[in-house]
Amino acid sequence: MTRPNCPRPTRPAGCSWCSSKPVSSSVGLRRAWGWASVALVLLLSACGTTRLIDSEVRSFRAAGTGPVNDAPLHYRFERLPSQQANTSVQDQIEALAAPVLAQRGFVLDASAARFTLELRMSLDTVNRTGGWRADHHFFSFGTGLWSEPLALTMQPPLYRYTVQLLLRDAADKTVVFESSAQHEGPWSDRDKVLPAVLLAALRDYPNGTENTQRVLVDVLPDGPRLRP
């Protein structure tokens, strides 16, 4: 059978030799790689520059208690039953927290602790097409399968970092200070961002503010620093 000579760009109706192929898949791939490139640029830029982490913070001083800021403030970590069940994760959280607490005058000393510190850190990821995912927590990513188109799933996600802390008097378990902080942004390097969010949560110790405050922290090579 001789192939008909179909002129281009005009294609005769019914010409099976000149049927066009759909291009939606290639367009989707180009978009996906575009988003992947954006994510890579963000990650590489984070490695060599100072970043500003802004957190929404609410903190409280317990009613009837005076400010407790006579350093050094000896403390020990207090773990909830759920945290005791996953000691490796909590060990990593506390290792990230200790240098930040030291900036604020706290000294880790379990044998002579004046305070106990209950600390929670979490990280959730957001798919821009589907809302917040509650199943992604600290050091536990990539546990689910996705069924969305590639061009959508490869859009750069946002990350929500949350820190909650509760400081108690070690002698009578009275709550002395409570604070929570939250940051949303494109950064996935939790070992850098979580300490910055914790430092924001501690900014107003020992007084507290009650009203939500926007706290700015610079992420520097030697650790986070509060911005005046």
Q: How many structural domains compose the chain? A: 1
27 found inside a domain: yes
pLDDT digits (tens, 9 = 90+) for 210-219: 899 999 999 9
> Which of 24-38, 41-55, 134-148 has the least mean pLDDT?
134-148
Q: What is the pLDDT of residue 149?
A: 44
Q: What is the mean pLDDT of the chain?
A: 78
Q: What is the pLDDT of residue 62?
A: 84
165 found inside a domain: yes
> Which of 44-48, 144-148, 223-227 has the least mean pLDDT?
144-148
Q: What is the pLDDT of residue 58?
A: 97
222 found inside a domain: yes
- What is the average per-residue pLDDT within 10-19? 46
41 found inside a domain: yes
- Tokens 């060599």 belong to 48
Cβ contacts of residue 73 below 8 Å, gap of 6+?
104, 105, 106, 107, 114, 115
CA dist 188 and 205 (Å) reads 27
Which domain range does residue 69 map to? 20-226
pTM over 0.85: no
Instruction: Band the pLDDT of 42: cuts 50, 70, 90.
Output: low
Q: What is the pLDDT of residue 143?
A: 31
Q: Is the pLDDT of residue 2 over 80?
A: no
What percentage of residues in the chain have a pLDDT greater than 90? 56
